[in-house]
């Protein structure tokens, strides 16, 4: 196996003991401070899994149905967000930060789309991440750079190399009680996870742990306890265990494992000799960001690393990403469970009350005389049942109870309307026919309600997009630091659009391509409703375009609108049947030419260009670029060459124009008989006099120092192009 670089800090035994005590103290104190929050989240987990309450003594036969209000609203919002994130037409768009990053922005966006959707296989883990965000209000994921390998015949095979994304259970990330905005602002955070003895040995080979081999006997003995749940801090997991019908506390069938506390916090380094934790003279004044791994079962530190060495080019060096459902200024923001728990209780009570009312109406109340012979213990109300009594008219009295369920239905509708106002998830938004008394009666009313409902739901979508951008930015920073010099990724020639070479169904992302600053945003997939609405708009636009002579007489424009119509109808292969016609030789706006050069494209002069207008605009762009500290030198060089070509074309046009004018003058002077009628003779040699050279500004003046590599044929300062 390839030996990883060892970033372990070699500390003395007393220093390791201090670190271990600090980790354990921070962990225990944080758990104690978060008891109320953990208890609330355990209740939300119980509601999500639908575990019913145990009935009270004597009420076992009463209705105890848990109305799944929280579950159906979480499922609805969960499905909407996952469809937006990972729908068919979702993609990642790179947004360049620097001016020289534009030329590679398409390639970077396609690479990140492949990495997230195909290489990382992010759909399933992100599904868990989004669910926990909606249920609890905030979700976390562990996201370091990883290299997963396995051996085949003694040869190492790379199964996956790239960013990792592991959603964390709410019990497994412990934070202090501090007022912060992001996870990276906490003074310390602790990730709790389980490992096997073999995983510890492998981690030691990879440089993640230290001292495993030397203490392996004690580690192996501690792992045999089979305990899978901690007595404090895993209450949410215990609720999940109860719903699963399993007991993870001390299972008989589980394998060996141990608990590791991975502590991310600040620690002052020793200057030289040993000193106490609070010593000012013996330690550095400024704190360092460290990660300390503490084996809880053996009470021993098994790894210490400096985050500045592990992630030297990241601002936020803790390898975590997070997302919250509501941006209300609080860190532990509410989720759907917290918003709906009271409404679910109210609907549950109302529903069970209605059920009991129906039971009373079906089974009547009976009064009887004890001496009549009526056996109440054996009596069960059934059809065609007869019971002998002495005198039915006086010994037994049946009281009929009429159940009025109208009030129950009105109460349920009222509570559900409150829920819809709170979440924005109405029956129409969920694709169901509305059962409200004020349901829309026409298609226009239905569309209006859907649009207004989308405004509320779009708030959640905007928050999700911002959190997703931070996640993608974190992935890219890991790619920039750790990805090999060349990284192969899958991309088609159509997607590349000729901007970079594609071979064997993919391309290579080089270190030069990654040498830029980018932000990322996720282009959400369109919903089914949006796609249908867009299809109708496209077909209506297509009918109008066919009647427009500007489009009907332009083959390329007509091909484009036809291709769009086929794509809207679900046929993306129209181009395979009818190839796109070539571009017509039309002039391009000089402003657009400068933009194309900055994006890395090539431009050419066109005979139909207004050359003087192009020269003026190009000179203006060059002057503006010279004063820009972030100017694109390569684009400026190409623009100077284009300027020279444009000037040559203008000179050539003037020569041709002068020749034509002089030829016409000679023809007029010679008359219709070819000069027999008198007039001036042609000039000596029959040659046409060329006009003087066109005088235009020199684009190289003042910029030769930076742009001197234009080429041997480029004009020099002080002289005009020939």
So what's the pLDDT on residue 592? 85
pTM of full prediction above 0.75: no
What is d(CA 100, CA 122) in angstroms, rounded to the nearest whole number?
Answer: 31
Residue 563, exposed/middle/buried by CB under 10 A (0-12, 13-18, 19+)?
A: middle
Q: What is the share, in percent, of the chain residues with pLDDT greater than 70?
A: 81
In angstroms, the CA 684 to CA 662 distance is 14
Mean pLDDT along residues 279-305: 93
- Which pLDDT score is estimated for 711? 43
Handedness of CA 682, 685, 688, 689 (dihedral sign): negative
In total, the chain counts a number of residues equal to 722
Question: In this structure, are residues 92 and 113 in contact, taking their beta carbons and an 8 Å threshold?
Answer: yes
Q: What are phi and psi of 447, to 5 degrees?
A: -65, -40
Which pLDDT belongs to residue 719? 43
Place 438 in a pLDDT band, splitting at 50, 70 and 90. low
* pLDDT digit string, tens, across residues 376-387: 666 666 666 666
Q: What average pLDDT does range 192-212 have in this prediction?
A: 93
Of the pLDDT bands very low, low, confident and very high (cuts 50, 70, 90), residue 111 is very high
CA distances (Å), 177 to each of 42, 136, 185, 193, 294, in order?
19, 17, 12, 21, 21
φ, ψ of residue 596 in degrees (nearest 5): -65, -40
Partners of 151 in the β-ladder: 156
Residue with token string 């037409």: 89
Where do the structural domains in the chain lie, given as residue ranges?
13-49+72-334, 337-459, 528-584, 590-673+687-710
443 band by pLDDT with thresholds 50, 70 and 90: low
Cβ atoms < 10 Å from Cβ of 261: 20
pLDDT of residue 548: 85
**pLDDT tens digit sequence for 564-587:** 888 888 777 787 788 777 666 667
Name the β-bridge partners of 260.
193, 295
Query: Would you list the DSSP string of 391-457?
Result: -HHHHEEEE------HHHHHHHHHHHHHHHHHH---TTTTT----STT---SHHHHHHHHHHHHHHH
pLDDT band at 174 (very low <50, low <70, confident <90, very high): very high
pLDDT at residue 407 in the model: 82
Q: How far apart are CA 176 and CA 169, in angstroms?
A: 17
| pLDDT score recorded for residue 528 | 60
Residue 530 is predicted with a pLDDT of 64
Give me the chain's average pLDDT, please: 82
> Per-residue confidence at 164, pLDDT binned at 50, 70, 90?
very high
Nearest to 263 by CA among 231, 305, 205: 305
Pairing of strands 396-399, 365-368: antiparallel
Quote the pLDDT of residue 332.
Answer: 95
Helix locations, 189-234, DSSP H: 197-205, 216-222
197: confidence class by pLDDT, cuts 50, 70, 90: very high
């Amino acid at each position: 196996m390839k030996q990883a670089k060892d970033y372990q800090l070699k500390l003395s035994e007393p220093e390791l003991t201090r670190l271990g005590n600090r980790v354990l103290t921070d962990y225990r104190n944080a758990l104690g401070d978060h008891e109320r929050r953990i208890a609330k989240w355990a209740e939300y987990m119980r509601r999500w899994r639908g575990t019913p309450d145990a009935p009270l003594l004597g009420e076992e036969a009463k209705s105890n149905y848990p109305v799944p209000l929280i579950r159906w609203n979480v499922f609805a919002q969960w499905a909407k967000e996952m469809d937006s994130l990972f729908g068919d037409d979702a993609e990642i768009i790179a947004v360049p930060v620097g001016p020289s990053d534009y030329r590679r922005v398409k390639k970077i966006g396609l690479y990140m789309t492949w990495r997230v959707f195909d290489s990382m296989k992010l759909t399933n883990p992100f599904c868990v991440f989004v669910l926990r965000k909606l249920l609890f209000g905030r979700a976390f994921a562990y996201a370091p750079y990883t290299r997963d390998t396995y051996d085949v015949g003694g040869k190492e095979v790379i199964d996956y190399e790239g960013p990792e994304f592991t959603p964390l259970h709410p019990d497994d990330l412990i934070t202090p009680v501090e007022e912060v905005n992001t996870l990276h602002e906490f003074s310390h955070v602790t990730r709790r996870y389980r490992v096997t003895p073999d995983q510890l040995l492998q981690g030691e080979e990879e440089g993640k742990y230290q001292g495993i081999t030397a203490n392996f006997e004690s580690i192996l003995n501690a792992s045999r306890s089979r305990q899978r749940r901690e007595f404090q801090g895993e209450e949410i997991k215990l609720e999940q265990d109860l719903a699963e019908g399993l007991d993870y506390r001390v299972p008989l069938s589980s394998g060996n494992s141990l608990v590791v506390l991975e502590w991310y916090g600040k620690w002052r380094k020793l200057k030289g000799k040993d000193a106490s934790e609070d010593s000012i003279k013996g330690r550095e004044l400024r704190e360092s960001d460290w990660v300390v791994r503490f084996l809880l079962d053996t009470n021993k530190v098994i790894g210490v690393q400096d985050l500045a060495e592990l992630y030297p080019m990241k601002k936020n060096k803790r390898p975590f990403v997070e997302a919250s459902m509501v941006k209300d200024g609080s860190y532990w923001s509410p989720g759907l469970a917290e918003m709906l728990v009271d409404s679910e209780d109210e609907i549950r009570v109302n529903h069970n009350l209605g059920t009991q009312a129906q039971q009373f109406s079906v089974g009547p109340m009976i009064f009887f005389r004890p001496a009549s012979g009526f056996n109440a213990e054996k009596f069960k109300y059934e059809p065609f049942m007869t019971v002998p009594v002495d005198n039915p008219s006086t010994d037994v009295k049946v009281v009929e109870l009429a159940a009025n369920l109208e009030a129950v239905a009105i109460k349920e509708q009222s509570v559900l309307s409150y829920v819809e106002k709170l979440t924005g998830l109405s029956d129409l938004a969920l694709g169901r026919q509305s059962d409200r008394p004020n349901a829309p009666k026409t298609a226009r009313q239905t569309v209006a309600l859907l649009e207004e409902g989308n405004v509320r739901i779009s708030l959640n979508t905007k928050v999700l997009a911002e959190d997703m951008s931070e996640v993608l930015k974190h992935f890219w920073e890991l790619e920039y630091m750790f990805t090999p010099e060349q990284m192969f990724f899958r991309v088609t020639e159509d997607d590349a659009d000729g901007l970079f070479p594609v071979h064997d169904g993919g391309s290579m992302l080089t270190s030069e391509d990654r040498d830029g600053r980018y932000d990322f945003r996720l282009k959400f997939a369109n919903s089914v409703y949006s796609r249908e609405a867009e299809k109708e708009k496209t077909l209506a636009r297509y009918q109008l375009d066919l009647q427009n002579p500007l489009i009907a007489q332009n083959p390329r424009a007509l091909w484009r609108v036809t291709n769009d119509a086929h794509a809207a109808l679900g046929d993306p292969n129209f181009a395979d049947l009818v190839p796109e016609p070539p571009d017509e030789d039309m002039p391009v706006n000089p402003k657009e030419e400068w933009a194309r050069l900055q994006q890395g494209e090539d431009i050419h002069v066109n005979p139909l260009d207004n050359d003087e207008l192009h020269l003026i605009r190009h000179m203006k762009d060059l002057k503006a670029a010279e004063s820009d500290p972030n100017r694109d030198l390569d684009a400026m060089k190409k623009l100077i060459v284009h300027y020279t070509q444009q000037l040559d074309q203008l000179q050539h046009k003037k020569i041709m124009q002068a020749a034509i004018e002089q030829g016409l003058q000679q023809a007029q002077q010679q008359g219709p008989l070819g000069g027999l009628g008198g007039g001036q003779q042609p000039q000596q040699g029959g040659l046409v006099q060329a006009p003087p050279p066109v005088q235009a500004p020199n684009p190289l003046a003042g910029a030769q120092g930076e742009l001197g590599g234009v080429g041997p044929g480029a004009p020099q300062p002080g002289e005009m192009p020939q």
